[in-house]
Chain A
Amino acid sequence: SQQGEEDPQALSIQEGENATMNCSYKTSINNLQWYRQNSGRGLVHLILIRSNEREKHSGRLRVTLDTSKKSSSLLITASRAADTASYFCATTSRVNNNDMRFGAGTRLTVKP
């Protein structure tokens, strides 16, 4: 079964607005990653946050992690039409570092 669940399932915004996607997971994790997928293509790694970190930035991306609530959020600031894609969170099990599970994803549409 999938480990993470993203919320919302779909998000539509105007160019220039911020987009926030949430991910909840069930078990203890070593780290949480966010990946992006353009339609029908392979996923691309965006950012990783370790279980002992609370916030991380990379360009227009900001990720937060709350291990007490077993949740993470991905914020994309000043969105662009090119940000249109599906975004997935992935968690690595604390029990087995090799076990990486993805959520169902959030489909983001940025309208020009």
Chain B
Amino acid sequence: DSGVTQTPKHLITATGQRVTLRCSPRSGDLSVYWYQQSLDQGLQFLIQYYNGEERAKGNILERFSAQQFPDLHSELNLSSLELGDSALYFCASSGGVSLSGANVLTFGAGSRLTVL
């Protein structure tokens, strides 16, 4: 158990639907990252929050949105789902960038989304 909790673990839904993925960071971590991993692919960076504020944005589609709440948990909302959105969605947390510029991530187990 990494300390990063993602729910649900599995989700099956239909095209056009909307889903919400939830992430609770490791205790004490202020930063949350979201990544998408399609089958046998690398990780696509979606978005990052630090203590409730968006700090970095990657290749996140307009149909997707995210936020980090005051209790530091984060949600990733995926709407108007398409077949190509089927993927593993990972959340990772960190304590933030240290003075040395290092930002080591602790990953959750992922949420597997299947769009039919």
Contacts and interface: CB of A to CB of B under 8 A. Distances in A.
Interface in B66-116: 88, 90, 92, 97, 100-110, 112
B43 A98 contact: no
Given A2-B44, A92-B103, A42 B109 contact: yes
Q: Which has the most chain A C-beta neighbours within 10 Å: B35, B42, B90, B110?
A: B42
A41 interface: yes
Nearest to A5: B42
B42 A92 contact: no
A38 to B, nearest CB: 11
Contact of B35 (A50, A102, A103, A105): A102
Contact of A101 (B45, B107, B110, B112): B45
A44 B107 contact: yes
B42 A102 contact: yes
A82 interface: no
Nearest to A89: B42
Interface residues of A, number: 27
Contact of B107 (A1, A31, A42, A103): A42
Nearest to B101: A30
For A43, A101, A104, which residue has the most chain B Cβ atoms within 10 angstroms?
A43
Interface string A5-46: 000000000000000000000000011010100001111110
B59 to A, nearest CB: 7
A98 B48 contact: yes
Interface of A: 1-2, 30-31, 33, 35, 40-45, 48, 50, 88, 90, 92, 96-105
The 3 closest A-B CB pairs, nearest first, are: A42-B107, A104-B42, A98-B56
18 contacts: A30-B102, A41-B110, A42-B90, A42-B92, A42-B110, A43-B105, A43-B107, A50-B100, A50-B101, A88-B42, A90-B105, A92-B101, A96-B56, A98-B103, A100-B33, A101-B58, A104-B41, A104-B42
